[in-house]
């Protein structure tokens, strides 16, 4: 695939399940899997690869590219290999506290 084939110009070119990167001013801003699209207004819902949260992307504000097959998935938010090797193993990472109630998922007991 050429760079031109990877560039997304319209939401109509995308389908759920595709892996994309969103760039802003030459910097990688978001990376994730397309969850759904709003073709009429060129908005894309993705599942962010770094946080696992849903994120709404605007094609007018970002440069969106498909991720070619074979490109490593650890491009966003992961430590460099040398840093990962230096880290001591731990039982489980402690979760960060929620910044707002929107980040908390409530599970109904049944």
So what's the pLDDT on residue 59?
87
Distance CA 60, CA 8 (A): 11
So what's the pLDDT on residue 81?
47
Torsion of CA 71, 73, 76, 77, to 10 degrees: -150
So what's the pLDDT on residue 19?
93
How far from each other are the two terminal CA atoms of the chain, in whole angstroms?
Answer: 50
So what's the pLDDT on residue 106?
54
Q: Which residues of 8-32 are buried (b: 16+ CB within 10 A; e: fewer)?
A: beebeebeeebbbbbeeeeeebbbb
Contact of 94 with 102, CB cutoff 8 Å: no
So what's the pLDDT on residue 20?
92
| Full pLDDT tens readout for the chain, 110 residues | 566 678 888 888 888 889 999 999 989 999 999 999 888 888 899 999 988 999 999 888 988 999 876 665 544 444 444 444 555 555 667 666 666 666 565 555 54
So what's the pLDDT on residue 48?
92
Tokens standing for 71?
A: 């490109």
The domains of the chain, with CATH numbers, are 1-70 (2.30.30.30)
So what's the pLDDT on residue 5?
72
């Amino acid at each position: 695939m050429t760079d031109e084939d990877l560039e997304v110009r319209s939401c109509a070119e995308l389908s759920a399940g595709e892996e994309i990167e969103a760039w802003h001013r030459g910097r990688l801003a978001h990376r994730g899997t397309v969850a759904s699209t709003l073709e009429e207004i060129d908005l894309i819902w993705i599942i962010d690869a770094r946080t696992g949260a849903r994120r709404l992307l605007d094609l007018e504000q970002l440069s969106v590219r498909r991720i070619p097959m074979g490109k490593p998935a650890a491009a966003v938010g992961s430590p460099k290999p040398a840093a990962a090797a230096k880290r001591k193993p731990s039982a489980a990472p402690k979760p960060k506290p929620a910044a707002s109630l929107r980040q908390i998922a409530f599970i109904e007991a049944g």
